[in-house]
Amino acid sequence: MNTPLADSQEKMAHALLNHSNEGLGEIFAHDEAELQARIAVYRNNVFFSLSNAISDLYPVINQLVGEEFFLALAKRYIRENPPASAAMVFFGAEFPEFVSQDKACLSLPYLADVARFELAKQHCYHAQDAKPLSLQIMHELGAEKLMASVLKLHPSLRLVDSKTASRSIWQAHQIEKPNFSEIDVATAEQSILVRPEFDLLICRADAALLLLITEIEKGAILAEAIDMTLEKYPGFDLASAMAMGFSNGFFTDIHSPQE
Amino acid sequence: MTIELPNSAGIGFKPKHLADLLLQKSEVSWLEVHPENYMGDGGLPHQDLLAVSEAFPLSMHGVGMSLGSADGVNDEHLERLAKLVDAYQPARVSEHLAWSHWNQVFLNDLLPMPYTRESLNLVAENLGRVQDRLKRTILVENPSLYLSFRGDEFSEAEFLNELCKTTGCGLLFDVNNLYVSANNTGFDAQQYLKELNIKNIAEVHLAGHSIESLPNESKLLIDDHGSPVRQEVWSLYQSLVFNLGEMPPTLIEWDTDTPDFEQMDLEAGLANQYAANALSNKILKESAA
């Protein structure tokens, strides 16, 4: 049984999210027309602030579908996935899955992938800071020790494995007038996002590099992770993969497996 | 003990003002941030906050604790706030007399509550938990209201007086909210200031509001923090400073379409100037009497 206060909060929360003013007349001292106008101020605040948060997090999706469509999409999302926390940095994480299921978005199969890319960017941006290892460590250790070691990934590192050209579409929208006539949206793209210091780096990767990083993330010894990768992708270019990893700050620590 | 907020003007921190704040001398002597914007683990937001917290006294003004929620304050949120307070040691921590979450759903707005004995006990309990966890007293801000409840048992001023007495909290008094609520729910702002125990005020907020019309054509004022402070609010501020006998730490809030630093600096300068005028007026009146 609700207390009177809990009862009024339950009714108001329902009224705000569901656009119905049911039960509010007994709580507030206004006639119907005035109540409507006054509750609208709070309802606008709720939807305006939350759809702004979604739009800040997914600016390229907003550009791709246009303001009006985006706002309607954001409102549907908010109603189905209202935030559970006051920390807006965690809000909107289910949006890519929501987009992939939303009927109005079905004709744009790359939309959910671009949303996943933007979410990975957000997570990368807000992740724990850590000092990356430099390429120098490869020289210091030598190949034999390096291969027998376990590498620790940078806490900001995120893998984006898309069936569509999510990175190219995203990049095309970083300028004023995007032109993606040259992009084949149906090309699968793999990306690695990492923030070694304050600037976020976007690395073009391939399925082999993604597999290697995934194995490293699981804690595999480097030699085993490489074997696994070469087995599936015999053409894998290890030297350039390691150079890319160390020069972009993918790793923060290296140790022998027993440590 | 951390440094206190100075008895002068501050502004809400926006990253776009960072360079101006750090490089130029201005009317701004302290800064306020919403802790919710710094609840990620790292990155640029923390770098910026560290830089300004080394240069300015800091106030952490929460918008998500939901002190008025019938289902209590959220432990996870309280822990996140405690971590930030511990890391940055702000001079002040404040929150709102409002609720924002019900049944695991966070509505991201400051929603109103009736001024009843039940509400008073509940807010006191929630506030007590926050103060115990943070090991400090916090300030509570009066809300901007768009609705009147049936069955209020206290006026807002009485409610705040009681809350401060019961919990030891102080007040963050928002003069614009007073003006907005007085218009929107029909009470007299001057009378309210007579009822309120102004000794509890440890910080003041000032902001702009916009004006809408209700179906009966009366005005509904919207506390949108999107324009300069209005003259009517400056007048109320001056009478408050006059009665306090000193300038409280006074914040200019401008969160919607925040202008460049130059205009924020002008508004901060106005606060310093209006407060000085009120105080000199008081001294002249007292020596004439």
- The verdict on A137 and A94 lying in the same domain is no
Rg for chain B (alpha carbons), in Å? 19
Does residue A52 sit in the same domain as residue A153?
no
What 3-state class would DSSP assign to B219? strand
Chain A residue whose CA is closest to B184:
A38
Best mutation target, B46, B97, B113, B147, to test chain A (most A CBs within 10 A) = B147
Residues 218-277 of B with CB under 8 A from A: 220, 222
Same domain, A254 and A134: yes
A-chain CB neighbours of B42 within 8 Å are 126-129, 155-156
Q: Is residue B1 part of a domain?
A: no
Contacts B103 to A, Cβ<8 Å: 10, 13
- Last residue of some domain: A77, A108, A139? A108
- Domain assignment present for residue B3? The answer is no
Q: Which residues of B touch A53 (CB under 8 A)?
A: 108
Residues A158 and A65 placed together within one structural domain of the fold: no
Q: What is the pLDDT of residue B1?
A: 39
Q: Is B76 on the interface with A (CB under 8 A)?
A: yes
Mutate: best of B50, B75, B102, B120, partner A, most A CBs <10 A? B102
The reply to whether A122 falls in a domain is no
Q: Does B61 touch chain A (CB under 8 A)?
A: no
How far is A157 from B155, CA to CA, in rounded Å? 53
Domain count, chain B: 1
Write down the pLDDT at residue A175. 86
Q: Which residues of B touch A50 (CB under 8 A)?
A: 108
Residue A249 resides in a domain:
yes
Claim to verify: residue A156 and residue A80 sit in the same structural domain: no
**DSSP code of residue B155:** -
The CATH number of residue B233's host domain is: 3.20.20.150
* CA distance linking residue B234 with residue B175, whole number of Å: 8
Give how far B272 is from chain A: nearest CA, Å.
31
Domain boundary residue, one of A108, A140, A169 = A108
Do A139 and A14 share a domain, yes or no? no
Between strands B99-102 and B105-111, the pairing is: antiparallel
Residue type, B81: L
The residue to which tokens 């924020």 are assigned: B264
Least CB-CB distance to B149: which of A28, A87, A89? A28
- On whether residue A119 sits in a domain, the answer given is no
Report if residue B39 sits inside a domain.
Answer: yes
**Portion 128-167 of B in contact with A at CB < 8 A:** 146-150
Of B36, B109, B146, Cβ closest to residue A38: B146
Chains A–B, number of C-beta pairs less than 8 Å apart: 145
Chain A contact for B118, CB < 8 A?
yes
Strands B30-33 and B58-61: parallel
Residue A113 lies in a domain: no
Same domain, A161 and A230: yes
Nearest CB to A34; choose among B74, B149, B214? B214
Does residue A73 lie within any of the structural domains?
Answer: yes
Task: Output the domain CATH number for residue A170.
Answer: 3.90.930
- Full domain range(s) for residue A165: 129-259
Q: Do B149 and A29 touch (CB under 8 A)?
A: yes
Q: Give percent above pLDDT 70 in chain B.
A: 99
Burial of B24 (0-12, 13-18, 19+ CB in 10 A): exposed
Do A161 and A253 lie in a common domain? yes
Chain A contact probe: residue of B107, B217, B223 with most A CBs at under 10 A: B107
Q: Which residue of A has its CA nearest to B123?
A: A5
**β pairing state of B201-207 and B170-174:** parallel
The answer to whether A156 contacts B146, with C-beta atoms less than 8 Å apart, is no
- Whether A139 is covered by a domain: the verdict is yes
Q: Say if residue A85 is in the same domain as residue A168.
A: no
Residue A206 in domain: yes
State the DSSP H helix or E strand holding residue B238, giving kind and residue range, or none if neither. helix B231-244
**Does residue A47 sit in the same domain as residue A147?**
no
Separation CA A186–CA A170 (nearest Å): 14
- The string of pLDDT tens digits covering residues A177-223 is 877 778 899 999 999 999 999 899 999 999 999 999 999 999 999 99
B198 touches chain A (CB under 8 A): no
Do A82 and A142 fall into the same domain? no
Beta bridge mates, B174? B205
For residue A225 the two structure tokens come to 């992770």
Contacts of B109 in chain A (CB under 8 A): 16, 42, 45-46, 49
Q: How confident is the prediction along chain B (289 residues), in pLDDT tens digits per residue?
A: 357 999 999 999 999 999 999 999 999 999 999 999 999 999 999 999 999 999 999 999 999 999 999 999 999 999 999 999 999 999 999 999 999 999 999 999 999 999 999 999 999 999 999 999 999 999 999 999 999 999 999 999 999 999 999 999 999 999 999 999 999 999 999 999 999 999 999 999 999 999 999 999 999 999 999 999 999 999 999 999 999 999 999 999 999 999 999 999 999 999 999 999 999 999 999 988 7
- Contact indicator for B202, B181 with CB cutoff of 8 Å: no
Domain presence at residue A117: no
CA distance A35 to chain B (A): 8
User: What residue has token string 């939303």?
Assistant: A102
Three-class HEC string of chain A: CCCHHHHHHHHHHHHHHHCCCCCCCCCECCCHHHHHHHHHHHHHHHHHHHHHHHHHHCHHHHHHHCHHHHHHHHHHHHHHCCCCCCCHHHCCCCHHHHHHHCHHHCCCCCHHHHHHHHHHHHHHHHCCCCCCCCCHHHHHHHHHHHHCCEEEECCCCEEEEECCCHHHHHHHCCCCCCCCCCCCCCCCEEEEEECCCCCCEEEEECHHHHHHHHHHHCCCCHHHHHHHHHHHCCCCCHHHHHHHHHHCCCEEEEECCCC
Tell me which residue of A152, A154, A147 sits closest to A225, measured CA to CA. Answer: A147
pLDDT computed for residue B143 by the predictor: 98
Within-domain flag for B119: yes
Contact between chains at A83 and B105 (C-beta distance less than 8 A):
yes
pLDDT value at residue B14? 98
ipTM for the predicted complex: 0.95
Q: Contact A86/B45, CB-based, under 8 Å?
A: no
B128 burial via Cβ count (<10 Å: 0-12, 13-18, 19+): middle
Q: Identify the domain containing residue B116 by its residue range.
A: 9-288
**Domain finish residue from A47, A79, A108:** A108
List the structure tokens of B236: 């109320």
pLDDT of residue B167: 98
A129/B42 touch (CB, cutoff 8 Å), yes or no: yes
Task: Write down the pLDDT at residue A1.
Answer: 63
Q: B93-137 pLDDT, tens per residue? A: 999 999 999 999 999 999 999 999 999 999 999 999 999 999 999
Q: Which residues of chain A have pLDDT under 70?
A: 1, 259
Return the half-sphere exposure (C-beta side, CA atoms, 13 A cut-off) of residue B101: 21
Q: Provide the terminal-to-terminal Cα distance of chain B, rounded to the nearest Å.
A: 41
Number of independent structural domains in chain A:
2
